[in-house]
Structure 1
């Protein structure tokens, strides 16, 4: 008898890359939606977002440590390999660095590698209209689309107003990724 036949099938593994935006504290909504759709989830955080989220709550929800820094050589990998990646909320800074290939944080490094590894990736931008007006942002979105990144439909909010949390559709990342992963 095959030893693997006694094991439960592995659920697909989703990396949620979370960036420092005012709505980042609601990332649990995406984690819950993914778990409801039978994903295992691990969170990769930009260093700045750690002050925006409840690390203990998220780690308890996922069962994995949040990753925000590179591990030392020889240290075990704390997360399984990703079957897909959702970047939510994705800030102006992260989108532009990712499109330019600037791998200065673990989160952006993982995103840059995902392209070469062929990992389906969806991004849900969250920024204001002044940032969205900058030419680098549109160029970055175009480059990400050329790379096969699936881009969500969030409409930027007014500068200095924050907000838009009621219009931010966390589950859209899963809607974008599901056809890619199930092929």
Structure 2
């Protein structure tokens, strides 16, 4: 008997979020039951696809916290992948600022034993030069997060272009699967 594991795929508003349907399908082909969480801006960016993404995953796409007393509509996570994770989302997560749903889910995952957490940043080199960014990566790595950045993941390009030339989604899925 095979058991499907649940992956929480958390996405910030960065151009690779437009590939999320393909990423969900790739994760499902690897045996994952995918639950999709978005920042409010990412949800706005893909708003025309939210119903299709919910149908693809079989779960509600979430970008807001549930109300007190409401049942949780997602099964428990076996792994968490936060990608693309923007400068703002990574810093919020590392600082424990959980006013956004995905930052709160990612922060809570750090305290759940046996749940591997992987993050792949997506930002430009000007934002990566900000001193808080390196501190945030160090905090997350110190908390046990596998951060795929630099040679092992995403390498930022110059400030200005709307989209990175390549976002290594397959590396992110590989890291979660190896988790």
Pairwise same-fold verdict (TM > 0.5): yes
| Match of residue 49 from structure 1 | 42
| Match of residue 155 from structure 1 | 155
Shift of 1:106: 1.2
Query: What is the SS of the residue equivalent to 2:140?
Result: helix
| Match of residue 71 from structure 1 | 66
- What are the residue-to-residue correspondences of 1:87-126 with 2, within 5 Å? 87-118=82-113, 119-126=115-122
Contact 1:145 1:151 in 2 (8 A): yes
Shift of 1:62: 0.5
Shift of 1:9: 4.4
- What are the residue-to-residue correspondences of 1:1-183 with 2, within 5 Å? 9-53=2-46, 54-118=49-113, 119-152=115-148, 153-164=153-164, 166-180=165-179
Give the Cα separation in 2 of the matches to 1:157 and 1:33.
26
Contact 1:22 1:52 in 2 (8 A): no
TM-score by length of 2: 0.91
Cα distance per residue 1:111-154 (max 9 Å; x no partner):
11111113211111110110000010011111111111111211
Query: What is the SS of the residue equivalent to 2:82?
Result: strand
Any gaps of 5 or more consecutive residues in structure 2?
Answer: none
Extract structure 1 runs of 4+ deviating beyond 3 A.
Answer: none
Query: What is the SS of the residue equivalent to 1:117?
Result: coil
Give the Cα separation in 2 of the matches to 1:157 and 1:56.
33
Give the Cα separation in 2 of the matches to 1:168 and 1:179.
19
Report the structure number with the largest CA radius of gyration: 1
Could you say what the CA RMSD is over the residues aligned between the two structures, in angstroms?
A: 1.3
| Match of residue 5 from structure 1 | none
Shift of 1:74: 2.1
Shift of 1:37: 0.4
Any gaps of 5 or more consecutive residues in structure 1?
Answer: 1-7
